[in-house]
Structure 1
Amino acid sequence: MYRSSGDDASRWKCHVKPWFGAKRPAEIDHAEIRRFAEAKKKDLDPATVGHCIRLLSRIFGDLIERPKETGVSINPVRTLPRSTRRLYRPKHDPHATPFLERLEDVERLAGHLVEPFATMYLTGAYGLLRTGEVLGLFAEDVDLQTRRMRIQRQVQWGQTGPLKDDESRTVPIQGPLLPRLAASKLVIGPTGPLFPTTRRNGGGTRRAPSRFVSIHTLHERFGEAVKAIGRPDILEWKMPWYQCTRHTGASHWVAAGGNIATLAAIMGHSTTWVTERYAHLRPDMFAAEDYDRLSGGSRLAPTPLPEITAREDIRRE
C-alpha cells in the first residue's frame, strides 16, 4: 500500500465516484473529464483536482490489464489535451519560487548547524530528498564505494513507512556530501538509522517510541541557522526547508546543465512533467544565435546604452 492510499480513498468517495461511478468506462472520454475538471476547479485546489484525475488514470490502467473482462483498451487520461491539463495545473511554480541562488549559501547554512542536523540538511539539498526520506535513511542505504543512496522508506510521525509513490529509487551522492555521509556512517555503524533521535529519552510516544530525529526539532535548528547567516527572510518563504533543500538542489542541477529526465528519476517523479518546470534554468535553453534572431544581422546597429551616472540618493549599499 502506497503512502497516499488513504487520501485516494477519500478522493474516490467524495469526488471521483459521485461523478464517474455510474458511468461505463466507454462513456468517460476527454469531454467528460474536462467537465469534471471545470466543475471541481470551482471548489477545489487545482492540485486536488489533479490528484483526482490521476486516480482515475490509475483505475483505467488496471482496467486495461484485463481488456477481455472490462472491454477497456484505452486510458483517456493519458491523451488529454493540454488545454484540459491546464485546468488542474498546480499553483506552485519554480519560476516564482525562491531558492538559494548561490551554492555557497548552502554550505554557509550547514556551517551554522550542529551534527547531525548539518548532514541532514546537506543530504536534502545535494540528494534532492524529501524531509521524510532524509529521516528514513539507514546506514545500509548509503554505499560510499559506488557513491549511491538507495531511497526506499520515509519517516512520518516518528515511524517508518512507504515512499510517496511506493517506488524506491537510487540517487547519486554528490561530492560535497560524500565526506559528511562517511563520517555519519563511522559514528552510526554499518546498520540502523543514519540520523537517530538526539533526545536522551527518545521521541514519539510510550506506545510507539521513535528512533528518529523529530521534524519539529529539525525545523527549529534550521530556523536558528537561517537567522545566523543573516537571512531571516527565508523563514517568510512558503516552505523554507523544502525551498532550501530539494528545490534548491533541483534548481542548481538544471542550471548546471543536468538532464531533466535524470533529475526526474532522482527526485522520484514518474514523469518529467513536474521537473520540466525547472527547464527555464537550463544554461542551454537558448542557443547563442537566439539572442540575435531579430537583430537583422549587420543591417541593424545595436542601440548604444545610455550613460549611467551613480547618484548618492539612489545608490544601493
Structure 2
Amino acid sequence: MGSISSYGTGAGKRYRVRYRDPARQSREKGGFTRKKDAEDYLADITVATNRGEYVDPKTAKLSIHELGVEWMANQSHLKPSSLRTVETAWRVHVEPAWGTRRIGEIRHSEVQSWVTKFTANGGKPRSATVVIRAFGVLAAILDIAVLDKRISSNPARGVKLPRKGKKKRAYLSAAQVELLAMHAGEHSTLVYVLAYTGIRWGEAIGLRLSCLDALRRRMLIEENAVLIGSQVVVGTPKTHERRSVPYPSFLSVPLARACEGKTRGQLVFGAGDVHFPRSNTEGGWFIRAVQAAQKDDGTFPLITPHDLRHTAASLAISAGANPKAVQRMLGHASAAMTLDTYADLFEDDLDAVSERMDAARAESIVGVSWGLKA
C-alpha cells in the first residue's frame, strides 16, 4: 500500500510516507518527527481507502465560497419563497463569515463560537429562526463536502443551537370572525374563506372559477400565488400536491357573487386577471378591519391574514373534526404534523376522553352489579 522513508533536514531526521490513492495516483506526506507517527498515518490511509472513506487532502483546500456557490445553484428545487430566504442567509450571514475559509481547516469549536456570537449579535440577540437558518446553510454545504469525500466529517454537526420559542397563536371565535368580516366590508367573502376553509392566502388569491365545484361545495387547491419582493410568483401549493377543500354552505352565495361576470379561467378574488394584492401595510383593509373589531371587542387579538388559517383549524376541531380530516383540509404533510402544530387545541380532548372512560366504567359496574343480583 505504501512505504516510509527517512530523510535529513536542518532540524534533524524526518520521515516521509509514500502511498497511492484510490485513483492510483502517487501521493506523499513528509515532516513526521517520529517513525511511529508516519506508520500511524499510513495505517489510517490504508483503512480509509479500504472502507471507501479516503479523502484527498487537496480537495479540502476548497473554500466555503467555492462550494457555496455550487450548492446554491443546486437549490432550484425549492419554492421561490424558500429559495429567497436561503439565498439571503447565504449572502448576508454565511458567505461574509466563512467564504474565504478552506473546508479542511474549519473546526467544530469555531462553528460553535460563531453560532454563539451570531446569536448574541453584540447585545441585540438575533431570532432563533435567523440563526438556525444561517447555520443550516453552512452545515448543508459541509454535508455535501463530506458526501463528495472532500472532508471526512462535518465540523458543524453537533453544534448547540438556540431554541425556538413557541409563538402563542391567536384563534378567533365564530362570533369574532363575523365581527371581522363585517368590518372587512367588500372583502368579507375572502375573510370567510380564509377562516372557514384554512387555505393559505396565496392559495385563496390563486383560486380560479374552474376550481370551484358549487354542487359538492369543494375548492380544488392547485395554485399558490406568493409575493416575492414586489413580484407575485405563481406555483403549486406548499406541499406540491393538489387537494380538495370543503366550504360551508353559507359561502355558496358570496362565492357565486364573487364569480359574476368572470370566465372559468379567471381568478375568484379581485378583478379576475390580476392576483389580489396582499393587505400587509398599516393602512391596508385587513389591518383597518382588525382595528375596528378591537374597538368593538376588547378581547379581539391583533392578527394577520395567516392567523385565519389557525382559526379554521380551531373551528374545525371544535366542531369535532378528527386530526386526519384537519390535515387534509389544511394540506399538511401528515396528521402527525397537524397534531404537533395544534397540540394546544386537542388538550380539551383529554378531558373528554377521561369523562368517557369514567362513564364506560360506571356502565360496566352497573352491569356487573345487576348480574350479581340475578
The alignment's TM-score, normalised by the length of structure 2, stands at 0.53
Count of residue pairs brought into register by the alignment: 265
More strand by share: 2
State the Cα distance separating 1:171 from its structure 2 match: 4.6
Distance 1:113 1:278, change over 3 A: same
Change over 3 Å in CA distance of 1:268–1:52 after alignment to 2: farther
**Distance change (3 Å), C-alpha of 1:257 and 1:232:** closer
- C-alpha distance after superposition, 1:2-30 (max 9, x if no partner): 22323211212333454597446xx998x
The residue number in structure 1 matching 2:220 is 149
1:250 aligns with 2:307: no
User: 2: distance between equivalents of 1:233 and 1:175?
Assistant: 28
CA deviation after TM superposition for structure 1 residue 111, in Å: 3.8
SS of 1:104's equivalent? helix
Aligned equivalents of 2:174, 2:324: Cα separation in 1: 22
Question: Counterpart of 1:284?
Answer: 349
The question of whether the paired residues in 2 share the 8 Å contact of 1:37 and 1:49 is answered with yes
Amino acid at match of 1:98: A
What's the CA shift for 1:196? 2.1
- CA gap 1:177/1:22 in 2 versus in 1, 3 angstroms: farther
The 3-state SS of whatever aligns with 2:243 is strand
The Cα RMSD (Å) is 4.7
Residues 30-49 of structure 1 aligned to structure 2 (within 5 Å): 37-43=115-121, 44-49=126-131
C-alpha distance in structure 2 between counterparts of 1:225 and 1:41, whole Å: 34
Offset, 1:88:
3.5
Question: In 1, Cα distance between the equivalents of 2:243 and 2:137?
Answer: 26
Tell me whether 1:15 sits opposite 2:111 in the alignment. no
| C-alpha distance in 1 between matches for 2:276 and 2:154 | 43
Quick check: 2:196–2:312 contact (8 Å CA) kept in 1?
yes
Within-5 A mapping of 1:1-317: 1=76, 2-4=79-81, 5-17=83-95, 18=97, 22-23=102-103, 37-43=115-121, 44-55=126-137, 63=144, 69=148, 87-89=162-164, 91-94=165-168, 97-100=169-172, 102-115=173-186, 117-145=187-215, 147-156=218-227, 157=230, 159-162=232-235, 165=238, 167-176=240-249, 178-179=251-252, 180-197=254-271, 211-216=274-279, 219-220=284-285, 223-224=288-289, 227=292, 230-231=295-296, 237=302, 239-243=303-307, 245-260=308-323, 263=326, 266-269=329-332, 272=336, 276-282=340-346, 283-286=348-351, 287-288=353-354
SS state of the match for residue 194, structure 1? coil
Give me the TM-score of the superposition, normalised by structure 1: 0.61
Consecutive unaligned residues in structure 2, runs of 5 or more = 1-75, 359-374
* Partner-residue secondary structure (3-state), 2:221: strand
Greater RCO structure (CA 8 Å; 6+ sep): 1
- Structure 1: any 5+ residue segments left out of the alignment? 199-209, 293-317
Quick check: which has more Rg, 1 or 2? 2
Q: Distance in 2 between matches of 1:11 and 1:132?
A: 24
Q: State, as a whole percentage, how many aligned pairs show the same letter.
A: 20
